[in-house]
Amino acid sequence: MAKKIEVNDKFPAFTLPDQDGNPVNLADEFGKPLVVYFYPKDDTPGCTKEACSFRDQYEFFTDAGAKVFGISSDSSASHRKFRAKHNLPFTLLSDKGNAARKQVGVPGSLLGLLPGRVTYIIDPQGVVQQIFNSQLDVVGHVTKAVDTIKAMNYSVN
């Protein structure tokens, strides 16, 4: 596993397919605030609640100029279904083989049996400003992201 990314580290650039199979390079997204959250699995109770919480706050993020990305090892097809079922307006990226998860150093949970649930808030220069790691406090990821974007002093239109 790569070095675990910490606050004030540059977030690594990687390219993953989105829910439609199109490649997305996160480095191309630097220049605006980013919320990148890693989650265990599409359409499970906790992951659905987390994704829907991000959906419900999506207007805040877009008004602040931020983009939201959810990442799991599920396939693009699974992401497409999950996104449609819950009307998720943000991009879901497929990390088959967990290469990006390993590159970022996202820890596992429950003795490493489940993929970890970690959210990174990244400034326009690509520097991590906040990390929230909690398997169980799924809504806390969204609250922490909103609070951090507000603290970064981005004006909401």
| Residues annotated as catalytic (active site), given as ranges | 47
DSSP-derived letter for residue 111 is: T
Nearest-angstrom CA–CA distance, 48 and 46: 5
Nearest-angstrom CA–CA distance, 30 and 134: 25
Residue length, the chain? 157
Partners of 113 in the beta sheet? none
SS3 content of the chain, % helix, strand, coil (to 5): 35, 25, 40
Closest CA to 144 of 126, 115, 118: 118
